Amino acid sequence: MGKISQQPLLEFPMPANTVYLPLRLLLAALVCLWLPLVSSAAETLTVHKSPTCGCCVAWLDQLSDQGYEFTLSHPTDLNTLKANYGIAPAYQSCHTAVSEQEYVFEGHIPGALIKRFLEEPPPGAIGLAVPGMPLGSPGMEVEDRFSPYQVLLLMEDGSSEVYAAVGSREEQASLGH
């Protein structure tokens, strides 16, 4: 029997690994720069509202400035739609936004709080709500007037708890920073 050669069939001169180190570092840096861009893709919301509501448009303008995308829906029976999503009358406002993951955002919620919720949805939650239409909340700005308000965490069992309290215009402005 013949002896099996331990030699490779073809030999290619290979430079030392140190030649490839800058290339590896460059690739690693590019991946690190690319990942945040992929993970920060715009969230698309479906917004159900009355076709004549101006404050909803003002709220959507602010969300758009923060990178959100949306599609609009003008249902004939907005109250039934809200009930179907589990939003009790006590939590309702003039518009309902629904995320791609089917979370609901009822009323004039600051975009930064929507983002925080979507990044880490609390267990058992269906979404957030700002009941009514508090003066000074996003889309409800009227001169320098401001009414403190609460953003409620809506739970699957119909209950709610305070997710955030917004006590001033300055607090609201600092949410995104």
pLDDT (tens digit per residue) in 83-127: 999 999 999 999 999 999 999 999 999 999 999 999 999 999 999
Average pLDDT over residues 8-15: 52
Which amino acid does the sequence have at 62? Q
The pLDDT of residue 20 is above 60 = no
Q: How many CB atoms lie within 10 A of CB 136?
A: 20
Q: What is the DSSP letter of 17?
A: G
Q: Which uninterrupted H or E stretch holds 55?
A: helix 54-65
Where are the chain's structural domains?
43-174
Q: How far is CA 64 from the centre of its chain?
A: 12
Question: The whole model's pTM is what?
Answer: 0.76
Which positions ≥6 away from 149 have C-beta within 8 Å?
130, 134, 137, 165, 166
Find where tokens 């600092």 sit. 174
For 155, phi and psi rounded to 5 degrees?
A: -105, 160
